[in-house]
Amino acid sequence: MPSWPSELPYTPLIRSYGEKAPNVTIRTSMDIGPAKVRRRFTNGIREFSFDLQLNGAQLQILDDFFMNDLAGGSIAFDFTSPRTEQPVSMRFVNPPQYSARGGNIWIASLDLEALP
């Protein structure tokens, strides 16, 4: 399994960081009264969204990593969780989005999912 390139940061821009806990329950509506809820899975997919500040060379490394090493995002990769700093297996949910910030500074917006 490919690993996140060491030339790239894994620490997100703090204001952009979002993490969603896995939904491991199922809800069933009742004709009367509150819905019934039960656990469906013991583990699920945790979603992450965040931005990274990159220079032009790092942007090219990320783009090559996504397009070539991960076959356009279809392959999972080893990553360090920004919150727990523990190793996790991640996969891109959407292709990265790039925006110029002036000079040689770019913002890469990532949507990732941690696989159980």
Tens of pLDDT along the chain (116 residues) come to: 899 999 999 889 988 988 888 877 778 888 998 888 877 767 788 999 999 999 999 999 999 999 999 999 999 999 998 888 999 999 999 999 999 998 899 999 999 999 98
**pTM for the full model?**
0.82
Radius of gyration over alpha carbons of the chain, in Å? 17
Cβ proximity of 72 and 94 under 8 Å: no
